[in-house]
Amino acid sequence: MEESLLISNVHIVTENAIINNGFVGIRQGIIASVSKEKPAEPYDNEMHAPEESFLLPGMIDIHIHGGYGADTMDASFSALRTLSARLPEEGTTSFLATTITQNHEQIEQALLNAKEWKAAEGSSAPGADMIGIHLEGPFVSPKRAGAQPKNWIRPADLTLFQKWQQLADGLIKIVTLAPEEDKDFELIRYLKEQSIIPSMGHTDADSELLLKAAEAGVQHITHLYNAMSPFHHREPGVMGTALTHDGFFTELITDGIHSHPLAAKLAFLAKGSKKLLMITDSMRAKGLEDGEYDFGGQNVTVRDKTALLSDGTLAGSILKMNEGAEHMRRFTNCTWMDIANMTSANAAKQLGIFHRKGSVAIGKDADAVILNSKCEVLLTICRGEIAFQSKEADW
């Protein structure tokens, strides 16, 4: 039987309020109590949190290619094992393994590997939970390819997607595609019917087309500002439409590189914390030294926290989720509750798992991160198990 745990002296960021110097109890991998006063029932262990620390729901990164030397496209158990083990260091407790545009065989190997790893060890891994797959490409626009290899980009193909989803045993939860590459929105409509999120990204669509795509089922925007038609006052493009349409949840890479701090603040002011989803879009170089790395079969140079293809195109990031949270607090002066929304709750709601993840509430999975005022990770708990504990914190 798993030992129960009581965390005390921590500011608890719940859905509706912050409980100062409160108590969170965990039993059998589930949040058993959230209170201002110490529970009457005993717990096997108690951890007294460092002063002025904040307990938030575990972060959910819905757009992450890799990190710490591993990449989803490696199509190996060791790659997903590495991500699961290392992501708690940045406060991430759940993630969508994200693919990149490549030849069909490599995509299929990555999908099959994710399914097999999830079945073999992913569900019981002591680290971050791989809750599904984000299929980024290949159904995108060559005009807005970004770091997606152009030679493997192709129009949307419903039959091909159905084959891939069957291969992945239903693990594909988000598909990034360009609506102009999806004739009659056939794939978008199918995804909507299957409760899979169609996300507009790497697209040159104008606002009129995007609004029609919204009527067909689009409710999500991939990495706002990047690889999309820009804003103009006579044609707002994807950017302007995303910022003003209430129906769109919008991803944002908050590294201060993919989007200027003022652009991040603009997104926050326009969308509010309940419609923004902070992501890393990180690649394998995250957590490693500067140097040369592979991303989707392309050489990437990482220097000064920036990952670039040889032509200067941004190629993912090396951002960590807790760093992104610190940046957003600095860029926007947002609250801890805003951070909890943007790093966890919104993702859980979009993925249809808010009943068990995404907030600090009784009965939900015991996924939590404790941060200090600088958003440094002090402790991460994944499904009731301590997955990371800072050696520098005074516990």
- What is d(CA 206, CA 184) in angstroms, rounded to the nearest whole number? 16
Smallest CA-to-CA distance from 302 within 291, 313, 294 is with: 291
The average confidence (pLDDT) of the chain is 96
Torsion, Cα of 351, 341, 317, 240 (10° steps): 90
Secondary structure element (H or E) that encloses residue 323, with its range: helix 321-332
Task: Out of 61, 129, 281, 367, pick the active-site residue.
Answer: 281
Evaluate whether 188 touches 167 at the Cβ level (below 8 Å).
Answer: no
> Region 35-52: what's the mean pLDDT?
95
- Classified as helix, coil or strand, 197 is strand
For 54, 122, 302, 351, the CA distances from 290, given in Å and listed in that order, are 32, 30, 5, 34
Backbone dihedral region of 288: left (phi > 0), alpha (psi from -120 to 50 degrees) or beta?
beta
Give the tens place of pLDDT for each residue, 177-223: 999 999 999 999 999 999 999 999 999 999 999 999 999 999 999 99
- Which pLDDT band holds residue 100 (cuts at 50, 70, 90)? very high
Judged against a pLDDT cut of 60, whether residue 358 lies above it is answered with yes
DSSP state of 275: T
Task: Read off the pTM.
Answer: 0.97
pLDDT score recorded for residue 394: 79
Least confident of 25-29, 48-52, 124-128: 124-128
23-27, 295-299, 328-332, range with the lowest pLDDT: 295-299
Confidence of residue 1 (pLDDT cuts 50, 70, 90): low
Q: Rounded to an integer, what distance in angstroms lies between the CA atom of residue 146 and that of residue 142?
A: 9
Residue written as tokens 């992913």? Answer: 122
Q: What DSSP character marks residue 282?
A: B
Mean pLDDT of 376-385: 97
Give the percent of the chain with pLDDT over 90.
92
Report the run of H or E that residue 221 belongs to, with start and end. strand 220-221
Q: Catalytic annotation on 281?
A: yes
* Closest C-alpha among 172, 192, 184, 233 to residue 209: 184
With beta carbons less than 8 A apart as the criterion, state whether 339 and 369 touch. no
Average pLDDT on 102-131 reads: 94
pLDDT score of 124:
82
